[in-house]
């Protein structure tokens, strides 16, 4: 599946990058990313005494590649696939070693890039066999605008953020009790703005008409229209804020029955390269291939069992079969029954022949 | 199929009127039946009876789409990965610190002091005493906490108090109020997105039944 997804990305013009699994910690984080810092396993490099980390996310590494190694003026479309290791799993029943695969566009601020990313995400999921898909988008700019307007800072801002993620209206009411009535009402309204198309009208009526709020709502609406043209239906969840630490604007999550967590997520992270000396607009998505396959072992095509031996004809016959793309398993004399085969290589005169073992 | 997780007893009884408002009537009374899955008048809605502390777990994993859980349970659980949009205003009580009659609590909780606290609510007890700057040794118990101060297991307990009857019967007094507790509606995050057309009307009915402003 990883193969198929990468081929799909290639057809959209994405270049594969392969950042290292272990790097100096400074290279693994963007800004002062405390949450990502805590999720990263660390070790000390004995050569330099500097701290190294096992990557817990690939996006910051890709951002660094975009900023330094490529340093292009125009658009960069990059994709990656690899394991990440996290100290804490991302959700219940989630693995601590997800196989992250994703695609990102650097250098485009406009919504066209987001449309392409969402389209690619949906196509990736359908390639992975996810058909019943529910896509939800939100915009971090809404929360940020409202929180700024309300003068929320520090711990309180974080608490409000967490309460919003849980749509914890009673909790929000407690937390915002000391704010101005307008600010509190705006934050509360955000918690109940989720659902289909009608939500936009509701949000425009309920949220204060700050310039940033209007801009974010406009973005959401135009994304919806652009995706509708492509036959992709989306829902809104304006309090859906938890995608990742570095997201700055649009965020989108894909849900499907049978999975308690989002199966793919993404969004915009415009300032992600800033720490690496170059701030470029960026958008992208990622998914955990391992969660999607959910198969303990890949199913193997049965092969051909061949006897062990040094006869030149036998060696030649085995080599020929393997070159034809067949799986040939040499019987080493120990528990041959435990390997999957449905044919056997047998000697007939001075010829070696493949005999089918399946009963007619 | 919509699955609702409830715990027996007070939460179940006080949730009944809310379910009725959403047009749902359980087919059996869990106090009389020993069944753990209870059907309702609606073919697409069933109730499951679980322990109160297990409600968030069932809902988080999606084994139930929604449930009713006390705020005490949610705070211990953490509430991550759940939506909790409604305070149902039922099963109300308070989380309190209680001590043996005659124990001088005010003298004992001076900053820097060290106390032994028995409780089921370890996380909330830790936070409460950390805020006060008091060292505590927490002893996790699963029930009958009232016993702990009486037999010298702990100096004080942190427990839910509704009428105060149990405290009184065991010669304990509540000395400090930590927070008011009531029950919340909790929702599985994916369920709200995937089954919104059926869950939202239920949510609105509950909201209507508790009254506005909540």
Q: What is the pLDDT of residues A157-216, one digit of tens each?
A: 888 888 888 888 888 888 888 888 888 888 888 888 888 878 888 888 888 888 888 999
Reported as half-sphere exposure (CB side, CA atoms, 13 A), residue A163 has a value of 22
Report the mean per-residue pLDDT for chain A. 85
Q: Which of A171, A257, A152, A186 has its CA nearest to residue B79?
A: A171
Nearest to B62 among A166, A169, A260 (CB): A260
Tell me: pLDDT of A274 over 80.
no
Beta-carbon separation of A170 and B84 below 8 A: yes
Task: Please compute the mean of the pLDDT values over residues B80-105 and round it to a whole number.
Answer: 90
A-interface mutation test, from B187, B193, B196, most A Cβ less than 10 A away: B193
Cβ of B197: how many Cβ atoms within 10 Å?
9
* Residue in chain A nearest B88 by alpha carbon: A170
Contacts of A256 in chain B (CB under 8 A): 194
Tell me: pLDDT of A360 over 60.
no
| Chain A touched by B179 (CB under 8 Å) | no
Q: Which of A269, A232, A237 has its CA nearest to residue A252?
A: A237
Nearest to B193 among A134, A166, A191 (CB): A134
| Chain B touched by A177 (CB under 8 Å) | no
Give dist(CA A163, CA A114) in Å, integer: 27
Beta-carbon separation of A194 and B192 below 8 A: yes
Give dist(CA B36, CA B16) in Å, integer: 17
Asked if A5 contacts A101 with a C-beta cutoff of 8 angstroms, the reply is: yes
Cβ of B2: how many Cβ atoms within 10 Å?
18
Task: Please compute the mean of the pLDDT values over residues A232-256 and round it to a whole number.
Answer: 81
Reported as half-sphere exposure (CB side, CA atoms, 13 A), residue A175 has a value of 22
Asked if A18 contacts A310 with a C-beta cutoff of 8 angstroms, the reply is: no
pLDDT score, position B5 = 95
- CA dihedral (A232, A238, A239, A245) positive or negative: positive
Q: What is the pLDDT of residues A346-358, one digit of tens each?
A: 888 878 888 888 7
Q: What is the pLDDT of residues B184-205, one digit of tens each?
A: 999 998 888 888 889 999 999 9
Beta-carbon separation of B194 and A260 below 8 A: no
Nearest to B83 among A136, A167, A256 (CB): A167
Q: Which of A237, A26, A217, A252 has its CA nearest to residue A119?
A: A252
Task: Please compute the mean of the pLDDT values over residues A235-264 and round it to a whole number.
Answer: 81
Which of the residue ranges A13-22, A62-71, A250-259, A286-295 would you say has the lowest mean pLDDT? A286-295
Report the mean per-residue pLDDT for chain B. 90
Give dist(CA A47, CA B12) in Å, integer: 63
pLDDT score, position A269 = 86
ipTM tops 0.90: no
pLDDT score, position B66 = 94
Q: Report DSSP letters for B26-89, one per residue.
A: BSS-TTT---SEEEBSSTTEEEEE--GGGHHHHHHHTSSSEEEEEHHHHHHH--TTEEEEEE--
| Token pair recorded at residue A349 | 């005169």
Q: How far is B83 from chain A (nearest CA, A)?
A: 4
pTM of the model: 0.79
| Chain B touched by A166 (CB under 8 Å) | yes
Query: What is the SS3 string spanning chain A?
Result: CHHHHHHHHHHCCCEECCCCCEEEHHHHCCCCCHHHHHHCCEEECCCCCCEEEECCCCHHHHHHHHHHHHCCCCCEEEEEEEECCCCCCCCCCCCCCCEEEEEEEECCCCHHHHHHHHHHHHHHHHHCCCCCCEEEEEEHHHHHHHHHHCCCCHHHHHHHHHHHHCCCHHHHHHHCCCCCHHHHHHHHHHHHCEECCHHHHHHHHHCCCCHHHHHHHHHHHHHHHHHHHCCCCCEEECCCCCCCCCCCCEEEEEECCCCCCCCEEEEECCCCCHHHCCCCCEEEEEEEHHHHHCCCCCCCCCEEEEECCCCHHHHHHHHHHHHCCCCEEEECCCCHHHCCEEEEEEEECCEEEEEECCCC
Q: What is the pLDDT of residues A322-340, one digit of tens each?
A: 998 888 888 887 766 667 7
> If you search the block for the tokens 């929360």, which residue do you land on?
A143
pLDDT score, position B15 = 92
Give dist(CA A71, CA A65) in Å, integer: 8
Query: Considering chain A, what percentage of its residues have pLDDT values greater than 70?
Result: 94
| Chain B touched by A237 (CB under 8 Å) | yes
* Residue in chain B nearest A240 by alpha carbon: B189
């Amino acid at each position: 599946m990883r193969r198929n997804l990468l081929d799909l990305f290639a057809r959209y013009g994405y270049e594969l990058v392969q950042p290292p699994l272990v790097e100096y910690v400074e290279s693994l984080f963007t800004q002062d990313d405390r949450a990502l810092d805590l999720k990263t396993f660390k070790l000390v490099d004995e050569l330099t005494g500097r701290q190294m980390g096992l990557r817990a996310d690939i996006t910051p590494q890709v951002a660094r590649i975009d900023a330094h190694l490529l340093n292009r003026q125009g658009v960069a479309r990059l994709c990656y696939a690899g394991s990440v290791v996290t100290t804490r799993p991302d959700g219940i029943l989630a693995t601590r070693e997800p196989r992250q695969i994703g695609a990102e566009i650097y250098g485009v601020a406009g919504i066209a890039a987001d449309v392409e990313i969402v389209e690619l995400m949906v196509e990736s999921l359908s390639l992975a066999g996810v058909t019943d898909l529910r896509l939800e988008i939100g915009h971090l700019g809404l929360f940020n605008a409202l929180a700024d307007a309300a003068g929320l800072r520090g711990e309180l801002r974080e608490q409000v953020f967490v309460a919003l993620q849980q749509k914890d209206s009673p909790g929000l009411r407690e937390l915002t009790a000391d704010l101005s009535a307008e600010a509190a009402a705006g934050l509360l309204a955000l918690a109940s703005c989720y659902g289909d198309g009608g939500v936009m009208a509701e949000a425009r009526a309920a949220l204060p008409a700050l310039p940033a709020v209007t801009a974010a709502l406009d973005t959401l609406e135009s994304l919806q229209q652009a995706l509708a043209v492509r036959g992709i239906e989306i829902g809104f969840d304006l309090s859906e804020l938890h995608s990742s630490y570095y997201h700055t604007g649009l965020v989108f999550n894909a849900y499907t029955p049978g999975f308690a967590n989002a199966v793919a997520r993404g969004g915009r992270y415009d300032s992600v390269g800033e720490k690496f000396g170059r701030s470029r607009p960026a958008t992208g998505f990622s998914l955990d291939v391992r969660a999607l396959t959910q198969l303990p072992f890949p199913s193997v095509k049965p092969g051909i069992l061949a006897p062990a031996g040094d006869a030149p004809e036998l060696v030649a016959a085995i080599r020929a079969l393997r070159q034809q793309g067949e799986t040939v398993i040499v019987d080493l004399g120990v528990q041959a029954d435990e390997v999957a085969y449905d044919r056997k290589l047998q000697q007939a005169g001075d010829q070696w022949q493949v005999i089918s073992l399946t009963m007619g | 199929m919509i699955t609702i997780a409830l715990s027996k007893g007070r939460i179940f009884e006080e949730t009944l009127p809310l379910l009725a408002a959403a047009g749902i009537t359980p087919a059996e009374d869990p106090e009389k039946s020993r069944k753990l899955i209870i059907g309702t008048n609606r073919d697409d809605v069933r109730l499951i009876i679980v322990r109160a502390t297990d409600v968030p777990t069932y809902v988080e994993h999606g084994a139930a789409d929604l449930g009713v859980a006390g705020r005490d349970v949610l705070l211990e659980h953490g509430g991550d990965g759940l939506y909790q949009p409604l305070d149902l205003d039922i099963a109300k009580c308070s989380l309190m610190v209680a001590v043996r009659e005659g124990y001088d609590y005010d003298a004992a909780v001076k900053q820097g002091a060290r106390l032994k606290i028995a409780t089921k609510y370890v996380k909330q007890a830790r936070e409460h005493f950390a805020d006060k700057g008091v060292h505590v040794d927490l002893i996790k118990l699963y029930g009958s906490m009232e016993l702990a101060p009486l037999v010298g297991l702990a100096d004080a307990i942190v427990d839910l108090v509704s009428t105060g009857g149990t405290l009184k019967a065991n010669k304990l007094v509540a000395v400090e109020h930590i927070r008011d507790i009531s029950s919340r509606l909790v929702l599985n995050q994916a369920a709200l997105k995937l089954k919104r057309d059926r869950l939202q009307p239920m949510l609105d009915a509950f909201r209507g039944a508790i009254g506005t402003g909540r």
